[in-house]
Amino acid sequence: MTTLENAYAAPIEALTTLRARILDDVASLTESMSALRVVRESSSDDDEHDPEGPTLSSEWSRIRGLLLEAEAQLAETDAASARVEAGTYGLCQNCGRPIPPARLEARPAARLCVPCASALT
């Protein structure tokens, strides 16, 4: 294993762990959406005017937003995994310089180095 491969071993492992966690989140949120869909379809009550707790619509929106975010994170993680396979993981997609391993440990799916990411904000 080269020095560069050693430097990126921990971030790549973190990427694998992150992907597994996101897949669990997607499965859980999808299950919640399905359960809520059943409640919405079987309920004839108008919960929009119920002062007790969140409405079905607001809960649907909340879960849907979380699911969309998890799916976006999964796409970022899969893109990073593709970079691992292509041998370009750890290289900034903007300037081509190596992304420091510490940044990749903090954000395993990072595609930009800190200077390039900062320039975008």
DSSP string computed for the chain: --HHHHHHHHHHHHHHHHHHHHHHHHHHHHHHHHHHHHHHHH--S-GGG--SS--HHHHHHHHHHHHHHHHHHHHHHHHHHHHHHHT-TTB-TTT-PBPPHHHHHHSTT--S-HHHHHHH-
**Stated pTM of the model:** 0.79
User: Which pLDDT does position 116 carry in this prediction?
Assistant: 97
pLDDT in tens, the chain (121 residues): 555 557 788 888 989 999 999 999 999 999 999 999 888 787 665 555 556 666 888 899 999 999 999 999 999 999 999 999 999 999 999 999 999 999 998 999 999 999 999 998 7
User: Which pLDDT does position 9 carry in this prediction?
Assistant: 86
Domain ranges of the chain: 3-120
CATH code of the region 3-120: 1.20.120.910
